[in-house]
Amino acid sequence: MAPAPYQPKGYPPIPEIGRVGVIGAGQMGSGIVQVAAVAGLEVRLLDIDPGAIERARAAIEARLTRQVAKGVMSETEKAEALARIRTAAGYADFADCDLVIEAAVENEEVKRKIFKDLVPHLAPAALLATNTSSISITRLAAVTDRPERFIGMHFMNPVPVMKLVELIRGIATEDDTYQAAKKFCEGLGKTTVTAEDFPAFIVNRILLPMINEACYTLYEGVGTVESIDTAMKLGANHPMGPLELADFIGLDTCLAIMQVLHDGLADTKYRPCPLLVKYVEAGWLGRKVKRGFYDYRGERPVPTR
């Protein structure tokens, strides 16, 4: 029997995005919440770790206080932005969101489970986005009830400072979803680029092999942590050295991205450096746990090798 002809799904029109849900209150989730709240949107924030929500709130408040001190924002604007951020007790609190952005850990199983559990609670018109650094948008979209309304929305770290958002369409993403996502990001003051749905998209396809190579450079004894970072800062004008940047991103995230590149492109040039693997196995995940290629527990960062 011939396959049934494609029937476009009868989605309601995409609403004006006024209320946004964010899943994951780590460094990326907290940044996304901040820029959305400052842009005047109502935000709901969910994390499995209540401590992460508290830390996110404190970090956002501290960053906005700095904006007030610099005269960029008034006390009233700060208070209004903070009042727009609510903690979600569960997925049911996303029922009135026009867009939900997933920014939990870079682990496909975790993300799949989040999307599967989330979709029964969403309004039919709601859009879904993932901030994944590397994982297939098409595969994540396929576990939802709305792959046409699903998109990769890849913010850069630190979100309030970095201008770029990569937009990645899955195979099913419809153009009105892409246009609404683009408009949303531009409303946050960001510039978008479009990337095809291949492992790690554009920025991380280029950036992470460089970071991984810096790990090999350290592993093979070509340079020390300090000499590698100084070389790339002063020799290539990078704002942070690659090992400092790896710590800033999170070594777990760096390793997860390299694994996606290695598995997805099946090329040995993406082999994760064994030293990076060892740091992650030790739980030395970088700045967020105060230890990685540098030790951040003292007054100034001290190289760990």
List residues with catalytic annotation.
133, 154, 166, 204
CB 175 within 8 A of CB 190: no
Other beta carbons less than 10 A from residue 287's beta carbon: 19
Q: Is 105 in the site for ligand NAD (CB under 6 A)?
A: yes
Closer CB to ligand NAD, residue 24 or residue 170? 24
Closer CB to ligand CAA, residue 126 or residue 159? 159
Binding mask 144-183 vs ligand CAA (x if CB under 6 A, - otherwise)?
------------xxx-xxx---------------------
Q: Is 166 in the site for ligand NAD (CB under 6 A)?
A: no
Token reading at 300: 């100034």
Q: Is 52 in the site for ligand NAD (CB under 6 A)?
A: yes
Least distance (Å) between residue 27 CB and ligand CAA: 7
Within 8 A by CB and 6+ apart from 69, the residues are none
Closer CB to ligand NAD, residue 19 or residue 287? 287
Instruction: Choose the contact partner of 207 out of ligand NAD, ligand CAA, none; CB within 5 to 8 A by kind.
Output: ligand CAA
**Interatomic CA distance for residues 78 and 182, integer angstroms:** 26
Using the 8-state DSSP alphabet, how is residue 35 labeled?
H
In one-letter notation, the amino acid at residue 19 is R
Binding mask 189-218 vs ligand CAA (x if CB under 6 A, - otherwise)?
--------------xx--x-----------
Least distance (Å) between residue 122 CB and ligand CAA: 25
Q: Which of residues 20-39 bind ligand NAD (CB under 6 A)?
A: 23-29
Instruction: Choose the contact partner of 221 out of ligand NAD, ligand CAA, none; CB within 5 to 8 A by kind.
Output: none
Token reading at 187: 């409303």
In one-letter notation, the amino acid at residue 219 is Y
Instruction: Choose the contact partner of 240 out of ligand NAD, ligand CAA, none; CB within 5 to 8 A by kind.
Output: ligand CAA
Q: Is 132 in the site for ligand NAD (CB under 6 A)?
A: yes
**32 alpha carbon, distance to own chain's centre:** 9
Tell me how far CA of residue 145 lies from CA of 11, 69, 83, 172, in angstroms. Answer: 11, 46, 32, 12
Instruction: Choose the contact partner of 104 out of ligand NAD, ligand CAA, none; CB within 5 to 8 A by kind.
Output: ligand NAD
Instruction: Write the burial class of residue 58 (CB in 10 Å: 0-12 exposed, 13-18 middle, 19+ buried).
Output: exposed
CB 133 within 8 A of CB 106: yes
**81 alpha carbon, distance to own chain's centre:** 21
CB 229 within 8 A of CB 243: yes
Contacting positions for ligand CAA (CB under 6 A): 63, 66, 133, 156-158, 160-162, 203-204, 207, 239-240, 245, 249, 253
